[in-house]
Structures are given as structure tokens and as C-alpha cells.
């Protein structure tokens, strides 16, 4: 159900169906810019977008629940390549669209000049906590991108994120905007939540979108935040966190986010690996 504080502003936007959204702005290779925006500022932002944006609408719903399970090696190779800003980096996750029970296995590659390439495989929701059924797909995707640092490392679930998302299409620029709220992270027996903040992400082929320009005029600037890396750094203070330190200090540690010390743990499974 769409939260009432955003239902009105979203209702003012014309709808777009999923098939048209994918056709016009799939953007599997793209440039992403992320902004941390107080949730009480979203209504004003959406009102400014009425002339230029459409909102994803599926059976009358415009906000959808997401769950992502992120995988890494025991030495956190994926995390550390991001923390040390390696030129070629990857993230591996399953993404579940909770309301439709649709699930994908995704390999995201960060390349030159901030570009992102995503490889996706339809996945069974019951397998979302393991990469075993899709391990061949993962290895092939990493090989195609020339990323195969160390064979023989298992890939295990490390972090779970959950949030609600509204997705906008800007037809004039074929760009896509996502607005994520009710953000939570779970790492083993610890959880973290940021109920007062939204992550607004612009996904474009290259040039800045109208949403970027509106946010810039309001004084907002892109933040270095990764749902995987920044969330894991917030929950594990012993990890290197240089790329996200300013974001962590400003939004995750001051004021302190809500922390639940004892949620249900993530079920961990053994996986065989040949790459990463």
C-alpha cells in the first residue's frame, strides 16, 4: 500500500506501464547519481516533476517493496574493491520484487567514467539466499567483463536490504528516476534503518537529467552511497570506509540510526565457487 505522505504527489503524475518503461529506459549501461533527501522534501520534488515525468503504475500501485541479498567472498573482495576505488568493480545480489514475488540474480559492473553495466538472470525466489543455481551465469558475466581475480572462493550472503521504491520515467530524456524510502539493512544479528531519509537515484545514458538539475538548484549534490558497501560499513565499523566516510558521518552516525541488536539471522548456506 502506498504511504499516504507520498500517495498524493504520486497520484498527480501520469502513469506508465512496466513494458513501456523498460522499452524506453531500460538503461542496462548507464550513469547513476544518488542523492540523500529528507522524506519530508519529496512531495515538493514530485510536484515540480508533474510536467515532465510519469510514474510506474502496476494495477493501481505506485510504490513497491524490494528485497536485495548481497553476496561476497569470505575476504569481502567485492566490498574491498569498492572501498579502495578499484577501476573495475562488481556487486552481486539477488533482487526480489516482494509484491509480485519476481526475483532476479544480478551482476553489476562499475566501469570507466562511472558507467554501470548490469547482467540479469531470472531466479526462483526460494533461491534468493544462494548463488548456487546461477553460479555459471555469475562466472560467465564476470569473465565477459574481465573480472576474475581469484578462483576457488565461495560466495556467501553478507547483507540484506529492504525498502520501498517508486520509479519515474522522464520521456524527453529517456531517463529513469528511483525514489527509495523505509530503508533497512540486516547483517547477521544487526539491523539498521534510516526512516527519515530517501535515496533518490537518477539513471541516465550520460547527461544530467531534469531531476539532477532541480536537486542541484536546491543545494543537493550527489552522495557517495552504495546500498551494499555503505550499509555494510555502517554496520561493521572495522571495515575501510574512505569513499563513504562523509556520508556515514552525516547521515548514518549523526544522529544515530535506529539499530535492532537481535533480528532473525540470515540463513547461510555453503556454495561452491570458481571465480572471484
Among 237, 233, 215, 236, smallest CA distance to 225 is for 233
DSSP state of 146: T
CA pair distance 75, 78, nearest whole angstrom = 9
Number of domains composing the chain: 1
pTM, rounded to two decimals: 0.84
Question: Is 273 within a domain?
Answer: no
**Ramachandran angles phi, psi of 8, nearest 5°:** -60, -55
Domain hosting 153: range is 4-260
Half-sphere exposure of 254 (CA within 13 A, CB side): 6
What span, in angstroms and rounded, lies between the C-alpha atoms of 71 and 61? 30
Strands 54-56 and 15-16 come out as: parallel
In the predicted model, what is the mean pLDDT of residues 135-145? 89
Q: Please indicate, yes or no, if residue 47 is contained in any of the structural domains.
A: yes
- The answer to whether residue 28 sits within a structural domain is yes
Taking the C-alpha atoms of residue 188 and residue 146, their distance in angstroms, rounded to an integer, is: 31
Determine, yes or no, domain membership for 266.
no
What is the Rg, in whole angstroms, of the alpha carbon atoms belonging to the chain? 18
d(CA 87, CA 226): 16
Three-class SS of residue 14?
coil
Please report the pLDDT score of residue 208 as a whole number.
85
The answer to whether residue 58 sits within a structural domain is yes
The segment with the largest mean pLDDT, out of 90-104, 132-146, 167-181, 203-217, is: 90-104
Domain-located, residue 89: yes
CATH classification of the domain holding 122: 2.40.320.10
Each residue's pLDDT tens digit, 68-111:
999 999 999 999 999 998 878 899 999 999 999 999 999 998 86
Q: Give the separation between CA 221 and CA 39, rounded to whole angstroms.
A: 16
Amino acid at each position: 500500500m502506498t504511504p499516504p505522505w507520498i500517495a498524493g504527489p504520486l497520484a498527480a503524475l501520469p502513469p506508465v506501464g512496466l513494458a513501456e518503461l523498460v522499452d524506453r529506459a531500460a538503461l542496462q549501461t548507464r550513469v547513476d547519481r544518488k542523492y540523500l533527501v529528507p522524506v519530508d522534501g519529496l512531495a515538493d520534488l514530485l510536484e515540480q516533476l508533474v510536467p515532465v515525468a510519469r510514474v510506474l503504475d502496476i494495477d493501481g500501485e505506485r510504490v513497491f517493496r524490494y528485497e536485495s541479498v548481497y553476496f561476497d567472498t569470505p575476504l569481502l573482495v567485492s566490498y574491498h574493491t569498492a572501498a579502495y576505488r578499484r577501476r573495475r568493480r562488481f556487486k552481486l545480489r539477488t533482487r526480489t520484487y516482494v509484491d509480485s514475488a519476481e526475483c532476479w540474480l544480478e551482476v553489476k559492473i562499475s566501469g570507466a567514467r562511472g558507467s554501470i553495466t548490469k547482467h540479469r538472470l531470472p531466479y526462483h525466489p526460494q533461491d534468493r539466499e544462494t548463488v548456487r543455481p546461477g553460479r555459471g551465469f555469475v562466472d560467465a558475466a564476470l569473465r565477459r567483463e574481465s573480472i576474475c581475480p581469484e578462483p576457488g572462493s565461495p560466495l556467501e550472503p553478507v547483507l540484506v536490504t529492504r525498502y520501498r521504491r517508486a520509479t519515474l520515467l522522464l520521456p524527453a530524456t529517456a531517463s529513469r528516476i528511483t525514489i527509495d524510502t523505509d530503508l533497512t539493512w540486516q547483517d547477521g544479528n544487526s539491523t539498521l534503518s534510516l526512516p527519515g531519509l530517501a535515496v533518490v537515484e537518477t539513471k541516465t545514458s550520460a547527461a544530467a537529467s531534469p531531476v539532477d538539475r532541480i536537486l542541484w538548484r536546491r543545494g543537493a549534490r550527489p552522495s557517495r552511497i552504495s546500498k551494499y558497501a555503505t550499509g555494510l560499513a555502517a554496520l561493521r565499523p572495522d571495515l575501510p570506509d574512505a569513499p563513504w566516510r562523509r556520508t556515514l558521518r552525516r547521515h548514518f552516525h549523526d544522529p544515530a540510526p535506529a539499530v535492532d541488536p537481535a533480528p532473525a539471522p540470515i540463513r547461510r548456506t555453503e556454495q561452491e565457487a570458481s571465480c572471484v
